[in-house]
Structure 1
Amino acid sequence: MSTPTRAILWDMDGTLIDSEPAHEAAFDSALRETGLTVPESLHADLLGASGDTVFAALQEATGTPLSLADWTRLKHRHFEHHARAITRLPAAALAERLAARGVPMALVSNSTAEEVAFCLRTTGLDTLLTTIVTRADVSQGKPAPEGYLLAARRLGVAPQQCLVVEDSPTGAAAGCAAGMQVIYHPQFPDPSPPPGARYVAPDQPPVPLIETFLTQKDPL
């Protein structure tokens, strides 16, 4: 019996590209423009969270009268200004090699559709990943499983035949909740990785686990 079709579902920020410096700079610049002050750790504590979740925390911390739409437009303007800080991570080269082999792949992000399109264009990945799920496509962002389940449906691959590659506990939780196999590959060591995901340390490549997933009948 042949191995069933399997797919790789990639997170974007912190997995394929390093956009966190640009996001942090844009967040700080937007705060300065509006005169808002937040706890120093607020942005870092929300790693992997969707824009609406970040805004809810911002609103709670500051009581800002800005709407979500206003804040999103303001932050994106600053985000584009800091585009030079957006770079590819090593996983992007792996994604290119897998695409050349015809492996089904999708991108699932908690970012807005505008941010995803901008980041993919900026890093030259816009022609590589054409099946894309953003926060605008789902009613609930990560850690809810909706985005990953939608990506599997769009690819025509069963959830149990999908491997999620994530850098944040929030994203890893979404993949696990979707009933998918998950590689948790953060940018910094994590002494308490999320349960249910395979932890790959920052200094270790996820390639062996991905190849095992694609070629062997048994799960990881």
Structure 2
Amino acid sequence: MMLTPPPGDYRAYLFDCDGTVADSMPLHFTAWEQALSEWGCEFPEDLFYAWGGRPVADIIASLNERNGLDMPVAQVARRREELFQEMLPRLQAVPETLEHIEEAHGRLPFAVVSGSTRESVTASLRTIGLLDRFDTLVCAGDYGRPKPDPEGFLLAARLLGIAPEHCLVFEDTEMGIQAATAAGMNSVRIPQRRTPVDQGTR
């Protein structure tokens, strides 16, 4: 059943990637667990989902502070990305979001606004066969202030040439919803999925 957006004159759709377009959060969590275990660092699952939408470097820095560690940010980030890439063949699209993409593609411009790296976002979208649906990608490094700051969404709107009030955001995290609201955009909340990795996707 298609999720119903709030009423509005929408001229562009902006999507988070992980957990919104790509059902990748369980894979990302497993990659984080494996990468961090090499440094004796724990990352509780509830905290992982609470921090959804934050850039990878931000998360590692916060885990260092939280656990009194000094993990090298760039090295841990690379290792986590390597592990995630190895699991990509298991990746699928989120059905609720895919319905909206298929319904509006060719009628409205689309953008992805993600706290993940461009490499990771591109690989995920290519794996699920949706990379060519998006007119622009706004990823970590393209903007300075992560969600819940609205900067990423506002940048995507400017790149598409659409006023913020005419953009509809699809998000799975509270920080993402807050960022959309701060940008003056309506939003659709995608239910979070915690599919066990060893069972694959649905």
Amino acid at match of 1:127: D
Question: Cα RMSD over matched residues?
Answer: 2.0
Give the Cα–Cα distance (whole angstroms) in 2 for the partners of residues 39 and 79 of structure 1: 18
Give the Cα–Cα distance (whole angstroms) in 1 for the partners of residues 83 and 19 of structure 2: 19
Secondary structure at the aligned position of 1:164 is classed as: strand
Aligned to 1:87: 92
| Unpaired runs of at least 5, structure 2 | 1-7, 194-202
1:82 to 1:135, Cα distance in 2 relative to 1, 3 A = same
The range that moved more, 87-96 or 20-29, is 87-96
Amino acid at match of 1:48: G
1:41 to 1:4, Cα distance in 2 relative to 1, 3 A = closer
1:34 to 1:18, Cα distance in 2 relative to 1, 3 A = same
1:5 to 1:14, Cα distance in 2 relative to 1, 3 A = closer
How far off is 1:38 after superposition?
4.4
1:4 to 1:48, Cα distance in 2 relative to 1, 3 A = closer
Aligned to 2:179: 174
Matches within 5 A, 1:182-193: 182-187=187-192
Give the Cα–Cα distance (whole angstroms) in 2 for the partners of residues 95 and 154 of structure 1: 19
Aligned to 2:119: 114
From 54, 59, 62, the equivalent of 2:59 is 54
TM-score (norm: length of structure 2):
0.83
Q: Tell me if 1:74 matches 2:87.
A: no
Secondary structure at the aligned position of 2:38 is classed as: helix
1:69 to 1:147, Cα distance in 2 relative to 1, 3 A = same
Check conservation: 2:165, 2:184, Cα contact below 8 A.
yes
1:179 to 1:38, Cα distance in 2 relative to 1, 3 A = closer
Give the Cα–Cα distance (whole angstroms) in 1 for the partners of residues 45 and 150 of structure 2: 30
Aligned to 1:128: 133
How far off is 1:32 after superposition?
2.2
Q: Tell me if 1:148 matches 2:137.
A: no
Secondary structure at the aligned position of 1:35 is classed as: coil
Amino acid at match of 1:70: Q
From 32, 39, 54, the equivalent of 1:27 is 32
Amino acid at match of 2:156: A
How many residues get paired?
185
From 63, 69, 88, the equivalent of 2:68 is 63
Give the Cα–Cα distance (whole angstroms) in 1 for the partners of residues 37 and 17 of structure 2: 27
1:44 to 1:9, Cα distance in 2 relative to 1, 3 A = closer
From 21, 24, 45, the equivalent of 1:16 is 21
1:64 to 1:138, Cα distance in 2 relative to 1, 3 A = same
Q: In the TM superposition, what whole-angstrom CA distance separates every residue of 1:32-82 from its partner, at most 9, and x where no partner exists?
A: 223333456432332232213311221113333333211210110111112
Q: In the TM superposition, what whole-angstrom CA distance separates every residue of 1:158-207 from its partner, at most 9, and x where no partner exists?
A: 1111111111110000001111112223226xxxxxxxxxxxxxxxxxxx
Secondary structure at the aligned position of 2:188 is classed as: strand
Secondary structure at the aligned position of 1:94 is classed as: helix
Larger Rg: 1
Give the Cα–Cα distance (whole angstroms) in 2 for the partners of residues 22 and 180 of structure 1: 29
User: What percentage of residue pairs aligned between the two structures are identical?
Assistant: 39
